[in-house]
A and B are shown apart, each in its own frame.
Chain A
Amino acid sequence: MKSTAVKVLLRTLALTVVSSGAALGFNAVRGEAGLALVAEDGFYDNKVFVPCPEVLVEPEAVTPARVLKWNPESLLVVDARDEEEFGAAHHEGAVSLTHSVLFPPDEEELKALVGRAGDRTIVVCGDPEYESGRLLASELMEAGLEQVYFVEGGCAALMGGEMCTGPAR
């Protein structure tokens, strides 16, 4: 009984050593797809946590009903949801600018948006669960854009029954 237990333990140890050896060998031959054996101290610090979204400039909320009363030609609806959701259904005439906590819109995207908006009012809709519309509207205002609103209830509320489907723009 005792000798059996010792044998099992020794074989378990051998199994661990052999598996680990195979793992290290595989990692060595897979080149760039593999990992360095030892990561530098602090390497994962900024990869584990990302900054919590902060709203520095609070944009004004508008109801979908109010948006629909505005002259459509004086508005540019910006859709903050991901491109897949935008591609599935979006408000007619909306442009896609996906909001990301990690990557706020860069200078080129902002420039393109300003060019596209001209003197129109920007109305941002997003996913209310993640507040992506509010967060993107805030980021756009921080970047210097004026006349920016976000839609209460997000894109789904804005679209209501009037959905436009088509490829993401």
Chain B
Amino acid sequence: MTGAGSRTGAGGWIVDSVTLVARLALGAMFIYASWFKIVDPYTFAINIATYQILPDCLVNVLTITLPWLELVTGVLLIAGAFSREASLTIGAMLVMFIVAILIAMSKDLEISCGCFASEAAAADIGWPKVIEDAVMLAGAGWIVVAGSGRLSIDAMMKSWSAGRVKHGKGEKKKP
């Protein structure tokens, strides 16, 4: 793993730029995705139940916690704070989403007759959504490997703490 802000030269700026774009795009998408789920948890619960994977007793816990995880990780990614941790969490969520869609597809859920109460959730069950999630997963993986980049709170914190060590801050000055 490369530390935040440790790359130099043109290559370093390219990597940092890609990382910044990935961070902002993923962060914005996850914040946006979390919003309606927090505002209207009941509809989101029905969306989760539509996949018919979890037992009913677990649907609500996931409904309550998942959007907040999306919101917090999205905000952290945009700020560039704990970017690797946030990306790892987002990656885990994306893997979960992909697996859920594949399971729903393998169950051959009848989604064409419009019999689902949640048509939005039913419309998400398919290869386009799997590909979309896989692309986002690649973005999250990039951030985990590349780190936060220069324009991030992580990089600022690192250079600040490096400066403290270099200048011997925290040690008692001699009279």
Q: Chain A's nearest CB lies how many Å from the CB of B173? A: 32
Residues 1-41 of A at the B interface (beta carbon under 8 Å) = 1, 4-5, 8-9, 11-12, 15-16, 18-20, 22-24, 26-27, 33-41
Asked whether any CB of chain A lies closer than 8 Å to the CB of B89, the reply is yes
B10 at the A/B interface (Cβ < 8 Å)?
Answer: no
With an 8 A cutoff between CB atoms, is A56 at the interface?
A: no
Tell yes or no: B159 within 8 A of A by CB: no
| Contact A39–B59 (Cβ < 8 Å) | yes
A/B interface sample: 8 pairs, CB < 8 A: A8-B1, A8-B84, A11-B82, A15-B85, A27-B41, A35-B64, A41-B57, A47-B117
Given A35-B41, A48-B49, A51-B115: A15 in contact with B60 (beta carbons within 8 A) = no
B95 CB–A CB distance under 8 Å: no
B89 touches A12 (CB 8 A): yes
Cβ A39 vs Cβ B56 within 8 A? yes
A52: interface (CB < 8 Å): yes
Question: Restricting to A96-132, which residues have a CB under 8 Å from any CB of B?
Answer: 101-102, 130
Task: Decide if B151 is an interface residue (CB 8 Å cutoff).
Answer: no
Cβ contacts under 8 Å, A101 to chain B: 114
Interface centre among B38, B55, B117 (most CB of A within 10 A): B117
Q: Give min CB distance, A29 to chain B, whole Å.
A: 12
Docked-complex contact B115 and A52, CB < 8 angstroms = yes
Please provide the chain A residues from 43 to 73 with a CB less than 8 Å away from any CB of chain B in the complex.
43-45, 47-52
**Min distance, Cβ B66 to any Cβ of chain A, angstroms:** 8
CB-defined contacts of A38 to chain B, threshold 8 Å: 57, 60-61
